[in-house]
Amino acid sequence: MWMKPACSLLLAAAFAYGQIDQIDKGHSAHGSAFDTGPRQKPWVMEGIGVAPFPITTKNPEVQKWFNQGNALLHSFWYYEAERSFRWCLKLEPDNAMAYWGLARATSGRGADDTRAADFLREAVKRKDKVTERERLYIEAEEAVLLPDPVRDDSGDRDYRTLRRAELKKLETLCIKYPEDMEARALLALVTMGDSRYGAELMIREILAREPNHPGAHHYRIHNWDYNQPEQALASCRAYTDLVPGIGHAQHMPGHIYSILGMWHEAALSMDAATRVEKQYMRTSLTFPFNNWNYAHNRTYLSYIQEQLGMAEAAIFGAHQLIDAPLDPVDNKENTYSTHSRGIAAMQRALIKYERWDDLLNPKTIPWRDAYEDKMNKAYCEGRAWLGKGDLEKAAKSIDAHAALKKDPDKNKDWEDTYTIEALELKGRFAIARGETGDTIVGLGLLADAAGREYDMQKQYADPPFYPQSLYNSLGEAYMDAKSPVLAAQAFEKALELTHNDIFALSGLVRAYAALGEKAKAEDDMARLLFVASNADAGLKILERAKATGITATPRDSSPAPQRNYARVPLDHFGPPRWEPYAAPALDVHDAAGKSVSLEEYKGKNVLLVFYLGPECPHCMRQLHEIGQKKDEWDRLNTVVLAVSSAASEKNGEALKQFGDLPARLLSDPDHTNARRFHSYDDFEDIELHSTILIDKKGRVYWARFGGDPFSDMGFLVKQVERMNELAGS
């Protein structure tokens, strides 16, 4: 059996095939900065906008890819921008501005700026080989990114001081080169939000000369996001039309539309954004966990669909995020991961739409053993039991929530949310008991929670961190207490923060109808009917308003015209749902020279490993670890295929040397298959370690490309279990 030989013996045998290169196989010869990021060559991308940026180069093709990278930077698509700039270096290894582009594409994109600093140092070394204009661009980035060995000996650099130094260089660029709109775009980028008027003036100057500049429209949207957002409306449609091929370009106008209560336009933006990203993932063999904005887009779309009364669509989106493959990098969930955003979206939709049985079903939300999840689970169960009228079980859930206050694992990041949840639960419980004194106390607690939740959301609702607007909840509680005056005040307060909120509008229709203020009730009904024109049939919040007998003609109260979300076709942006991708063709030969393809394994899962040959000790260690899970692979109906460039004869020798290997060793001598499966570095012409899971239908569900061989076998087993479960659902 493969599991019997000691790993050390296997590694020793691996060395017998040849000495390991000085450069660790599968890693960049140019240093760790090149070991992450894209490894395949770029392609000409459509729909990304146009932003030419002339640089010093002897090769016209370098200029072409540099322009593409620059256009991608203007829409914050840093990963793909890095790919274009890397290819510039492949074509012209000594190009200073290609290194500058790489520094910009990687700056601020990780725990630190180590990679960006490494790239920029290479640009600085070569800045005497470029024009004065290009040198100023390099020095502007240098001012903010690289430490000064004389002035910064403490290693603690003040961000604002650095930013001022960068601004001075960019201002010099703008004055010396008045025709260079790229300098103005960069200056607008670094000042937006802090100097909104100044940034807007620069943006207007750019657009007067270049009306289709993608960066100018993009930066205007960010500049006014949450601060007079109507100022950005002129650029919202322009940006989405100019840059249809980038998800973030579709996404950002959705922020503006949401803040303004233009929910139909917001849904069109966010839906288009998720479709563009799903199409990109499908064609580039990437996944939700390594697509930087997908989780944010999808949870935002679910929130918008909730605001439109489209509960089923919102819940579907939450399922898409929960069921997506998990992040293979560190296997730890964070608040902004795809899985975490799915849990938050599901919790929000089920609470808003009072789906109490679904909320109590343990299969609906995959709660994890983290403080955030323990807190929210107790809160959700408390809300559900209160909603079902079971005060005894609600009390137990509220006690479980209260006990978390002393939890040693308590995360300070969740302290404010915990406090609001606790106040809300206590308030609702007191009201539910029905005693006069309890009702007054409960309304006071709920009002306190509502004020705190309002202040939290006012800071930045992106979308709201709390699952429900508590001023709406307070309004409903006042309606139940026969206090329509106070209810109307609470609902109006909710509308201040969330414009055209259907829950607030429904409450106002009922409150004003109860007060006999028919004109106000009709006005709010007209707004409600417009927003909820695509709502699910029989939606309770809509039916409650209609039950008052108030009628109206739907009317949009937004600051700009809107299209109807349900009537605008979006299929040209991409597919409506994420699914595993059809695996590329596998055309290899086994140790006996027999042709092998994935068709041979239809109906079985495939764990496909690209490794660097029997002489690679890291690879053989990975195969050893895979072999230790042989019983698990058998249980999960999974076969293991291991592909390298080693010839069939060499694989045959390896089988004799190592005994009963857990994998079928396959030969890909010219790297054709490695390229198809993104297991080859086109920039350095080297093989890469890759671990790929393919389901029974021949679709790629999960993969890890590059870096060291993936070694967390427990994680892989869980992913195959998820893959089987989803394939059967």
Q: Can you give the residue ranges of every domain in the chain?
A: 7-17+582-728, 35-265, 289-366, 367-460, 469-558
Average pLDDT over residues 631-645: 96
The model's confidence at residue 23, banded by pLDDT at 50, 70 and 90, is very low
DSSP category for residue 566: G
Alpha-carbon distance 705 to 36, whole Å? 10
The model's confidence at residue 5, banded by pLDDT at 50, 70 and 90, is very low
DSSP category for residue 268: H
Q: Which residue has the higher pLDDT, 588 or 30?
A: 588
Any long-range contacts for 218-221 (C-beta under 8 Å, 24+ apart)? 218/74, 218/75, 218/76, 218/243, 218/249, 218/252, 219/185, 219/188, 219/189, 219/192, 221/252, 221/253, 221/255, 221/256
Residue 158 pLDDT more than 80? no
Q: Which tokens in the block code for residue 728?
A: 């059967």
Alpha-carbon distance 203 to 190, whole Å? 12
In terms of Cα–Cα distance, which of 467, 478, 429, 474 is closest to 449?
474
Q: Which tokens in the block code for residue 515?
A: 């007060």
Place of tokens 């106008």: 253
Q: So what's the pLDDT on residue 18?
A: 40
In terms of Cα–Cα distance, which of 574, 560, 578, 563 is closest to 533?
563
In Å, what is the CA distance from 128 to each residue of 96, 150, 166, 622? 9, 22, 19, 46
In Å, what is the CA distance from 597 to each residue of 18, 130, 396, 610, 694? 29, 50, 56, 15, 13
> What share of the chain in percent tops pLDDT 70?
92
In terms of Cα–Cα distance, which of 561, 599, 57, 578 is closest to 320?
578
Buried b (16+ CB within 10 A) or exposed e, 581-608: bebeebebbbbeeeebebeebeebbbbb
Q: So what's the pLDDT on residue 151?
A: 57
In Å, what is the CA distance from 359 to each residue of 317, 364, 378, 641, 645? 16, 7, 11, 41, 51
Contact (CB, 8 A) for 550 and 518: yes
Q: pLDDT (tens digit, 9 = 90+) per residue, 78-115?
A: 999 999 999 999 999 999 999 999 999 998 754 467 89
Question: What percent of the residues of the chain are helix, what percent strand, and what percent coil, each to the nearest 5?
Answer: 60, 5, 35
Task: Kindly report which listed range (11-25, 357-371, 398-412, 435-449) carries the lowest average pLDDT score.
Answer: 11-25
Average pLDDT over residues 214-225: 97
Tell me the whole-structure pTM to 2 decimals.
0.93
Average pLDDT over residues 627-649: 95
Average pLDDT over residues 391-405: 97
In Å, what is the CA distance from 452 to each residue of 201, 420, 422, 445, 702? 37, 7, 12, 11, 41
Which DSSP string do the residues of 430-489 spell out, in sequence order? HHHH--HHHHHHHHHHHHHHHHHHHHHHHH--SS-SSSS-HHHHHHHHHHHTT-HHHHHH
Residue 725 pLDDT more than 50? yes
Alpha-carbon distance 707 to 2, whole Å? 25
- In this structure, the chain runs to a length of 729
Contact (CB, 8 A) for 429 and 442: yes
The model's confidence at residue 637, banded by pLDDT at 50, 70 and 90, is very high
Alpha-carbon distance 135 to 478, whole Å? 65
Alpha-carbon distance 367 to 375, whole Å? 10
What angle do the packed helices 60-74 and 78-91 form, to 10 degrees? 170
Alpha-carbon distance 624 to 709, whole Å? 12
Residue 19 pLDDT more than 50? no
Residue 336 pLDDT more than 90? no
Contact (CB, 8 A) for 304 and 266: yes
In terms of Cα–Cα distance, which of 408, 342, 341 is closest to 374?
408
Q: pLDDT (tens digit, 9 = 90+) per residue, 424-436?
A: 999 999 999 988 8
Query: Does this chain's domain 35-265 share its CATH topology with 469-558?
Result: yes
Q: So what's the pLDDT on residue 27?
A: 63
Secondary structure (3-state) at 690: strand
Query: Residue 647: CB partners within 8 Å, gap ≥ 6?
Result: 667, 669
Q: pLDDT (tens digit, 9 = 90+) per residue, 28-63?
A: 666 667 777 889 999 999 999 999 999 999 999 999
Domain 469-558 homologous superfamily, CATH: Tetratricopeptide repeat domain (1.25.40.10)
The model's confidence at residue 330, banded by pLDDT at 50, 70 and 90, is low
Residue 709 pLDDT more than 90? yes
The model's confidence at residue 150, banded by pLDDT at 50, 70 and 90, is low
Q: So what's the pLDDT on residue 152?
A: 57
Q: State whether CATH 2.40.100.10 applies to domain 7-17+582-728.
A: no
Q: So what's the pLDDT on residue 8?
A: 42
Q: pLDDT (tens digit, 9 = 90+) per residue, 476-524?
A: 999 999 999 999 999 999 999 999 999 999 999 999 999 999 999 999 9
Catalytic residues: 619
Residue 153 pLDDT more than 60? no
The model's confidence at residue 157, banded by pLDDT at 50, 70 and 90, is low
Average pLDDT over residues 145-153: 66
Q: Which tokens in the block code for residue 332?
A: 């730890």
Q: So what's the pLDDT on residue 25?
A: 59
Q: So what's the pLDDT on residue 683?
A: 93
- Arch. (CATH architecture) of 35-265: Alpha Horseshoe (1.25)
CB neighbour class for 422 (10 Å; exposed up to 12, middle 13-18, buried from 19): buried
Helices and strands (DSSP H and E) totals, the chain:
31, 10
Q: So what's the pLDDT on residue 24?
A: 57
Q: Which residue has the higher pLDDT, 335 or 619?
A: 619
CB neighbour class for 58 (10 Å; exposed up to 12, middle 13-18, buried from 19): exposed
Residue 22 pLDDT more than 50? no
Alpha-carbon distance 425 to 379, whole Å? 7
Q: Which tokens in the block code for residue 688?
A: 């890469």
Task: Kindly report which listed range (18-27, 251-260, 457-466, 585-594) carries the lowest average pLDDT score.
Answer: 18-27
In terms of Cα–Cα distance, which of 134, 155, 144 is closest to 107?
144
Q: What average pLDDT is seen over the chain?
A: 91
Q: pLDDT (tens digit, 9 = 90+) per residue, 341-383?
A: 999 999 999 999 999 999 999 999 999 999 999 999 999 999 9
